[in-house]
Amino acid sequence: MNKKVQPVTLLIMGKEYKIVCEEEEQDDLIHSAQQLDVQMRKMRDSGKIAAPDRIAVMAALNLAHELQTIKAQNDLLNNRLSECLAKLNQKIENVLENS
């Protein structure tokens, strides 16, 4: 089945970007662009970084770091969940064997 793609206009730091994406991904793309715009504007407004390309790189680095941190937390939680499920499964097997 073919998925419907449409162009989406995004506004980031006053510049328009047209991106083609699948219809069901548009809301996430718009939200991501809004988050990026907010982060880049904060950097620009802080006065520490002025050049738009440097602001974009710093925002990308911040978002990449945040993503890595969340992935690491997710991996840790998945490992803990797997351990808990294994222990629970063992307890269930013990109860069933002793019944």
CATH at 67: 3.30.160.880
**DSSP letter for each residue of 5-72:** EEEEEEEETTEEEEEEEEGGGHHHHHHHHHHHHHHHHHHHHHTS---HHHHHHHHHHHHHHHHHHHHH
Q: Which domain holds residue 61?
A: 5-97
Q: What is the pLDDT of residue 31?
A: 96
Average pLDDT in the 58-74 region? 95
User: Rounded CA gap, 87 and 94, in Å?
Assistant: 11
> How many domains is the chain built from?
1
Mean pLDDT value across residues 32-47: 93
Given pLDDT bands bounded at 50, 70 and 90, which one contains residue 76?
very high
Specify the pLDDT at position 99.
Answer: 78
Q: What is the mean pLDDT of residues 57-84?
A: 96
pTM of the model: 0.72
